[in-house]
Amino acid sequence: MKPKITFFVDFDNTLIDNDKVKVQIQSTISKEYGRKFINRFLAINQKLREEKGYVDFSSTIDQIAKEENKPELKDKLHYLFHNFKFKDSLFSKAGTVIKYLGTFGQVVVITEGDRHYQEIKIKSSGIWNLVDGNVEIPIFDKVSHLSEFLKKYPSDVYYFIEDKPEVLKEIRDLYKDKIKTIHVCQGHYSPICQMGIFDLTVKSLKDLLKINFPLKSAPS
């Protein structure tokens, strides 16, 4: 009998190039409202991030609209975010990888931050429908919520697919062999990619299409 498998897949910088998203959104706002405006927008966003511990675009929009004394600005900026083509910023074969993992077990996307904004991103990208709405969005520190997710998605084997090595190390230390760790070395963390630390290390997301699950080999 085949084991029941659940894949927990990080969203930002694992499935979607979040750095590319930020650059494109900033460029769009700058073209529409000017460099001074985008600089103030970014300053407010960073301040709120430091205060709250996560990116809160909704509050950033509310605050800058209030500062500018332009109520209509709030709706215009929200419209921009709602209509941004996030699908164009997915990493190569992201959708195909999700479908492929789904042939082995259930796939759950996990991210953190402003729930409203994250939902927009995931739905617009098409990933939400591909995982049948199995999406978890804690405000911050997704690792601290893993015990809840293990109960919600009972399985024999769990994998956590992530681009940040420090997150995977924390998961490995907390859950040992209960959750297998898969490091996707792309984006920010590609220069510090090291083989042999996690249960599996791949150089890009699409390399997962070459892997047969459940993993049986030694760490690579």
Domain harbouring 116, CATH code? 3.40.50.1000
- What pTM was computed for the model? 0.92
Last residue of a domain, one of 56, 71, 86: 86
Q: Please tell me whether residues 68 and 98 are part of one structural domain.
A: no
CA atoms within 13 A on the CB side of 21: 27
Range of the domain at 118: 5-16+90-210
Is residue 215 in some structural domain?
A: no
Q: Taking Cα atoms as reference points, which of 88, 70, 87 lies closest to residue 127?
A: 87
Q: Please tell me whether residues 112 and 96 are part of one structural domain.
A: yes
Q: Please tell me whether residues 148 and 101 are part of one structural domain.
A: yes
Looking at per-residue pLDDT, the higher value among 54 and 108 belongs to 108
Is residue 219 in some structural domain?
A: no
CA dist 117 and 114 (Å) reads: 5
Is residue 220 in some structural domain?
A: no
Is residue 121 in some structural domain?
A: yes
pLDDT band at 220 (very low <50, low <70, confident <90, very high): very low
Please tell me the predicted confidence (pLDDT) of residue 191: 65
Is residue 171 in some structural domain?
A: yes
Q: Please tell me whether residues 66 and 123 are part of one structural domain.
A: no
The count of domains in the chain is: 2
Q: Please tell me whether residues 39 and 139 are part of one structural domain.
A: no
Strands, sheet with 157-162, edge to edge from the N-terminal-most edge strand:
135-136, 106-110, 5-10, 157-162, 179-184, 200-202
Q: Taking Cα atoms as reference points, which of 100, 140, 98, 144 lies closest to residue 122?
A: 98
How does pLDDT run across 123-166, given as a tens digit for each residue? 999 999 999 999 999 988 999 999 999 999 999 999 999 999 99
Please tell me the predicted confidence (pLDDT) of residue 195: 78
Q: Please tell me whether residues 23 and 9 are part of one structural domain.
A: no
Looking at per-residue pLDDT, the higher value among 25 and 53 belongs to 25
Q: Please tell me whether residues 169 and 206 are part of one structural domain.
A: yes
Q: Taking Cα atoms as reference points, which of 136, 134, 155 lies closest to residue 144?
A: 136
Look at strands 157-162 and 135-136 and give their pairing: unpaired
* Whether pLDDT at 217 is above 60: no
Is residue 153 in some structural domain?
A: yes
Query: What length does the chain have?
Result: 220
How does pLDDT run across 155-210, given as a tens digit for each residue? 999 999 999 999 999 999 999 999 999 999 987 766 667 778 999 999 999 999 99
Three-class SS string for the chain? CCCCEEEEEECECCCECHHHHHHHHHHHHHHHHCHHHHHHHHHHHHHHHHHHCCCCHHHHHHHHHHHHCCHHHHHHHHHHHHCCCHHHHECCCHHHHHHHHHCCCEEEEECCCCHHHHHHHHHHHCHHHHCCCCEECCCCCHHHHHHHHHHHCCCCEEEEEECCHHHHHHHHHHHCCCEEEEEECCHHHHHHCCCCCCCEEECCHHHHHHCCCCCCCCCC
Please tell me the predicted confidence (pLDDT) of residue 219: 46
Last residue of a domain, one of 41, 64, 86: 86
CA dist 111 and 91 (Å) reads: 16
Q: Please tell me whether residues 158 and 182 are part of one structural domain.
A: yes
How does pLDDT run across 76-116, given as a tens digit for each residue? 999 999 999 999 999 999 999 999 999 999 999 999 988 99
Last residue of a domain, one of 86, 109, 144: 86
